[in-house]
Amino acid sequence: MSYLRRTIDNVFDTVLTAATTAANPVAGVDAAILWHRIESAAAARKLAFVGEVLARHLNECETPVGTLPGGVDPADAAEAEIAAALGITCSTAGRWMWLGHTLATRLPNLAATFAAGELTEHQVQTIATCTANVDPDFIKEVEAHILSALKGSSARLVGKKLRAVIDAVIIRVDPDGLRARRDAAVLGRHVHVHPATDGMAELAGSLTAEDATFLDRRLDEMAKRVCSDDPRSFSARRADALVALTHGRPDLDCLCGDPACPFTADIAGTPRRPLVHVIAPADTLTGESDAPGWIDGFGFISAEHLRAIAAAADLRALHNPTVSDAVADYFAETPEDRYRPSQSLADWVKAVHGWCAFPGCGQPAWESDLDHRTPRSADGDTASFNLGPFCRKHHNLHTHGGWETEQLIDGTLILTSREGRVYRVPPLGPIPLLSNPVPMRPKRQPRAQGRVNRVRRERKRAHDQNNEPPPF
């Protein structure tokens, strides 16, 4: 152990010296990137050794039921040793122990990529959790596809976007794994209340996606039904709305203090049904296919789950604007002669991208703005090849913050920061993920074809103007 500790100390001393005493020491974002990779590499090694502790205790089992002498559970023994040695809680020790053992026994290639500093501990934890129910016969193939997707995007896939890619892979390789995880999650739904400081408490739980979306939209609607003089923040009003619902009240009282305020709970009116966007293959709705569906903001759901939601839903067809005469042709799309896209075009663009297109943002597409890559004021088209969803914060950053975007034929966005860093963000909505579970390296639109496309649109626009009826 002393040799190992000296080796690790030497590695960090070498890296630290290189990073801080070079002729041009690393600073700013570059320094953060360097230390982020070092942190990941160190975490990978820590988890590997923690996993070894569990493996050693499992190997020491002397009874057929897999316990240590005296009936002690080997996992409990390993957890206690790790928690005491590292000064962490038993629950944290158990999580690290399980993750380290999973990486060593089920996901060795993921472990190697993690050890190289190319993935964060949070990404690795997400992948291990989401693939826990994948059949052992399929786990290697699933692992390979996930790693391919991660390496195909220069903007790190995290959070909801990463889970969507993982689910898309599992759907193609081991669909029973997704159903098993869904069934286990439904059985494990819960609500917990935990004590906090300053006389407060924290609420946490797990609900089905459609129930959680319904609740989320309902709280938003209730929180907005007060006047502008209400002193509470929007978040505080959402919390009060949840309490009001538990008391059987459909709305909030406004706290502005004005006796004449019209926003009182007894006259606020009947609440509307919250809107939940679900993307559904037509064949799945009719029962001819078991292809999964998609809930905006949550990702994939099983065919059975989808049909249960659709039974009480309003259905609207999704139209592909790049299809002409039943043939998909990116260059055949006719731009709309308007700034704000039609409902049909907006739905298609959001179904292609799925989320806010900014790296690391998990804002659902239907809660985001549709941003023109080339501004309308600069002759930018209102068409799928020039639109992408950005949440309000990142829409403003793109417009006024010095970020530039380029869109490729397959919908991939190339974002360039004000410091010149380039990030490739593939479309991660239900349309591309259902047709291809692994985002491929995109092809750029040929410049010659781009010129032909622009000329075609200009000619059509001129033809339409010349054929307008006289103004009488």
pLDDT in tens, 18-53: 555 555 555 678 888 888 888 999 999 999 999 999
Considering only residues 313 and 136, tell me which one the structure prediction assigns the higher pLDDT.
136
Distance CA 401, CA 36 (A): 25
216 confidence band (pLDDT: 50, 70, 90):
confident
pLDDT at position 212 over 70: yes
Residue 376's nearest CA partner among 335, 334, 327, 346 is: 335
Q: Average pLDDT of the chain?
A: 81
- What is residue 461's predicted lDDT score, i.e. its pLDDT? 52
Considering only residues 168 and 69, tell me which one the structure prediction assigns the higher pLDDT.
168
- Rg of the chain taking only CA atoms, in angstroms: 27
Write down the number of H helices and E strands in the chain.
17, 12
**Residues 277/216, Cβ–Cβ less than 8 Å:** no
Strand partners, 464: none
- What is residue 162's predicted lDDT score, i.e. its pLDDT? 92
User: To which residue do tokens 């593939």 refer?
Assistant: 426
Residue 82's nearest CA partner among 105, 102, 98 is: 98
Distance CA 344, CA 327 (A): 18
pLDDT at position 377 over 50: yes
Give me the phi and psi of 145, to 5 degrees please.
Answer: -65, -40
Distance CA 108, CA 362 (A): 28
The Cβ-side half-sphere exposure at 57, using a 13 Å CA radius, reads: 22
Distance CA 156, CA 321 (A): 29
Considering only residues 451 and 387, tell me which one the structure prediction assigns the higher pLDDT.
387
User: To which residue do tokens 């292609």 refer?
Assistant: 352
- Lowest mean per-residue pLDDT among 3-7, 159-163, 342-346, 373-377: 3-7
- What is residue 406's predicted lDDT score, i.e. its pLDDT? 87
SS in 3 state form for 254-306?
CCCCCCCCCCCCCCCCCCCCCCCCEECCHHHHCCCCCCCEEECCCEEECHHHH
Q: What are the residues whose beta carbons fall under 8 Å from the beta carbon of 321, sequence distance 6 or more? A: 333, 334, 344, 345, 348, 383, 384
Considering only residues 202 and 262, tell me which one the structure prediction assigns the higher pLDDT.
202
Considering only residues 329 and 192, tell me which one the structure prediction assigns the higher pLDDT.
192
- For 209, counting Cβ atoms within 10 Å of its Cβ (0-12 exposed, 13-18 middle, 19+ buried), the class is buried
pLDDT at position 113 over 50: yes
- What is residue 8's predicted lDDT score, i.e. its pLDDT? 54
pLDDT at position 9 over 60: no
- Once rounded to an integer, what is the mean pLDDT over residues 407-432? 87
Count of beta carbons in the 10 Å neighbourhood of residue 223? 21
* Alpha helix positions (H), 152-273: 159-173, 175-187, 209-224, 234-246
pLDDT in tens, 251-275: 888 899 888 888 765 544 455 555 6
133 confidence band (pLDDT: 50, 70, 90):
confident
Quick check: helix, strand or coil at residue 465?
Answer: helix
- Once rounded to an integer, what is the mean pLDDT over residues 340-366? 91
pLDDT at position 62 over 60: no
Whole-Å CA distances, 262 to 220, 232, 462: 19, 17, 53
460 confidence band (pLDDT: 50, 70, 90):
low
The 8-class DSSP code of residue 378 comes to G
Q: Is the pTM of this model over 0.75?
A: no
- What is residue 79's predicted lDDT score, i.e. its pLDDT? 92
Residue 271's nearest CA partner among 241, 237, 247, 295 is: 241
Q: What are the residues whose beta carbons fall under 8 Å from the beta carbon of 49, sequence distance 6 or more? A: 100
